[in-house]
Amino acid sequence: MPAPNPAALDFLLSRRSRPAKTLDLPVPTHAQLEPILTAAARTPDHGKLEPWRFIVIEGAAMARLADLAETRARALELGEDDVAKARSQFDQGHLAVVVVEVQKPSEKIPPLEQTYSAGAVCLALLNAALATGWGANWLTGWVCHDATFRAQALGLGDHERIAGIVHIGTERVAPPERPRPDIAAITEWVSS
Would you call 116 exposed, middle or buried from its count of C-beta atoms within 10 A (0-12, 13-18, 19+)? Answer: middle
Q: Would the annotation count 76 as a binding residue?
A: no
Q: Would the annotation count 13 as a binding residue?
A: no
Q: Would the annotation count 18 as a binding residue?
A: no
User: How far apart, in whole angstroms, are the C-alpha atoms of residue 149 and residue 163?
Assistant: 14
Q: Would the annotation count 178 as a binding residue?
A: no
Q: Would the annotation count 49 as a binding residue?
A: no
Distances (CA, A) of 49 to 41, 63, 111, 143, 157: 11, 33, 11, 26, 18
Beta bridge partners of 95: 58
Within 13 Å, how many C-alpha atoms sit on residue 156's CB side? Answer: 27
Write the Ramachandran bin of 62: left for phi over 0, alpha for psi from -120 to 50, otherwise beta.
alpha
Q: Would the annotation count 46 as a binding residue?
A: yes
Residue list, annotated binding site: 15-17, 42, 46, 138-140
Residue list, annotated binding site for FMN: 15-17, 42, 46, 138-140
